[in-house]
Structure 1
Amino acid sequence: MHVLILGAGFSGSAIGRAFLPKARSVTGTTRSQDKLGVLQAMGMDGLLYDGAVVSPELAAVMRKATHLVQSIAPGKDGDPIMRAGMPPLEHLMPNLQWAAYLSTVGVYGDHGGAWVTEEALLDPVSARSTERVAAERAWLSSGEEHGLPVAVLRLSGIYGPGRNAFRNLEAGTARRLVKANQVFNRIRVEDIASAALLLVERKTGGIFNVTDNEPAPPQDVVAEAARLMGIEAPPEIPFETADLSPMARSFYGENKRVSNAKLRGIGFDFRFPDYRISLAELWTSGLWRG
């Protein structure tokens, strides 16, 4: 297979690495000239793409691609591939056999701490999540129109090597914000990659929550990381009096427990099913530094 990762950032590059042993080629795009060398060091081909102008080089890769992962966030004009004025998908990628769109559990909005599945009401709170809903629908509709398996991966809070509570504690930026009954789901980046690979191997489309087994209060995750490091955890800070940016505060306006039963039901086995197992592995392996 020839794989194209549009937006080979933290999650996209992890997926690309997982696909490398099974693919004839893996190409990832980035907005940064400096990151091209990083992608190449991982074994991928790298191309510049700002989400707007498709270069002749990228157009050639698109025509060859059999498998696509779209990881670029939509904007006000919509998804970069699905927006008005772009050539139809079948013209851009005539050999496409499977596609994935990386979305977010933010599309569910606030459910008052209740469990949600892929069938739950979508009631996004933020503009960015509203844009995600529109992009999801565009990709799913295109898949139905062309008989193409399109997998929408709704991701929870992503962390892993180089991006985790240990790094925040080391940098002195970790905080233990406490809001009554607030929980979040999270997911190790390697499990995102493994889930995408399973869906490719099974040629499966549809909507899947890609999230760990245990929604948990965010302050508990910081405390567990501090315990593993053998340092004192930062003091608890009441959410109501915390100095937060509007974006950070908006995250706490959504409270839900996201179920991964559908993904487990097709045979996916999480390597990192909860934050305790994951943090312990990051710490003992030294991978937390990235």
Structure 2
Amino acid sequence: MTRIDAPVEALPGAGVFIVGCGDIGRRVARLEQAAGHRVLALARSETAASVLWAQGIEAIPGDLDHPASLHRLPPRAAVLYYFAPPPAEGSGDPRLASLLTALTPAALPGRIVYISTSAVYGDCQGAWIREDQPVAPKTDRARRRVAAEQTLRDWSQAYGVPWVVLRVPGIYGPGRWPLAWIRQGRPVPREAECPYSNRIHADDLAAACFAAARRGRPGQVYHASDGHPTTLTDYLYRVADAFDLPRPPAVALTEFWRTASPTLRSYLEDSKRLDNRRLLQDLGLVLRYPDLASGLAAARTAAPG
């Protein structure tokens, strides 16, 4: 099991504050609540606030796309978990910048844990890479994440707030299975031609965030990956097998590109294998799902999606 109960240094401040409290944020919230901590989260609408309150998370009204609304941020949270994505367009992340600007001296957190993406490295042609690999983003989506990391780094240096970045690949688990793809019979590239991709189970990602808030070295980057890369084709085949569905048809990679969306194409063209030893060693994690086989073994007991 993931070591979320290991002794950790006490968290100072008034609970934790989650910005971007979607699926992963709510999983992190459950871990923090189990540890006895007060959890607050930013909510951009009454509907979002209702979902948060139902889990015992205190909803703080505010919309990252409207900076004037960010005037009720909680004071001195022990940890600020920032999970909100950048906008879909542009070269930077004005949402993150707005949040950081709104953090008055009385509201500075004890630490920031930021989720980024492994796409910042670009295409590494299937090589194993560690966190000191230079970033070389190929897409605007990845460039926005590089810009966001730099914004956080500069702000942290100016205000003395420690930060930790988790670079995350594909996330899988309950509610995230690609069953629609498989049921629709959408093709996949022939496995011999399919580039490498990486993934992590949603529960292990939440545990990594929880551990990073306590044991992550300030200013450090971690690969939040299970350390067992495979291919998209292999992943879809094994999910299909686990759910007793026909495997999708395989086609030549050149044919697959003709129907692939720009987002999917950018994902597949960034071939790399993520080394996760720093994550395991620094944070003391024992992943609950250290590979796809262990994640799929639990699939039948979880709601498909």
Q: TM-score, normalised by structure 2?
A: 0.84
**CA offset at residue 99 of structure 1?**
0.7
For structure 2, the 5+ residue unaligned runs are: 1-13
Q: Which residue in 2 is equivalent to 1:25?
A: 38
**What is the correspondence of 1:70-109 to structure 2 with a 5 Å cutoff?**
70-75=82-87, 76=90, 77-82=92-97, 87=101, 89-91=103-105, 93-94=107-108, 96-109=109-122
Size of the aligned set, in residue pairs, is 284
Q: Which residue in 2 is equivalent to 1:255?
A: 271
Selected match of 2:287 from 251, 257, 270: 270
Higher mean C-alpha displacement, 98-107 vs 180-189: 180-189
CA RMSD of aligned residues (A): 2.4
Selected match of 1:207 from 196, 221, 235: 221
Give the Cα separation in 2 of the matches to 1:199 and 1:229.
33
Residue type of the alignment partner of 2:162: P
Residue type of the alignment partner of 1:251: Y
**CA offset at residue 17 of structure 1?**
1.9
Q: Which residue in 1 is equivalent to 2:158?
A: 145
**CA offset at residue 178 of structure 1?**
3.2
Deviation string, structure 1 residues 3-46 (Cα, Å, up to 9, x no partner): 11111112222222221223542122344543332222222123
Give the Cα separation in 2 of the matches to 1:41 and 1:52.
25
Q: Which residue in 1 is equivalent to 2:51?
A: 38
**CA offset at residue 64 of structure 1?**
4.3
Question: Contact between 2:194 and 2:253, CA under 8 Å: does it hold in 1?
Answer: no
Any idea what SS the aligned residue of 1:46 has? strand
Any idea what SS the aligned residue of 1:289 has? coil
Q: Which residue in 2 is equivalent to 1:282?
A: 299
Give the Cα separation in 2 of the matches to 1:192 and 1:98.
18
Change (3 A) 1:72 1:113: same
Any idea what SS the aligned residue of 2:39 has? strand
**CA offset at residue 265 of structure 1?**
1.4
Selected match of 1:227 from 219, 230, 241: 241
Give the Cα separation in 2 of the matches to 1:231 and 1:247.
25
Give the Cα separation in 1 of the matches to 2:78 and 2:33.
14
For structure 1, the 5+ residue unaligned runs are: none
Q: TM-score, normalised by structure 1?
A: 0.88
**CA offset at residue 219 of structure 1?**
1.0
Question: What fraction of aligned residue pairs are identical, expressed as a percent?
Answer: 27
**CA offset at residue 133 of structure 1?**
0.6
Any idea what SS the aligned residue of 2:135 has? coil
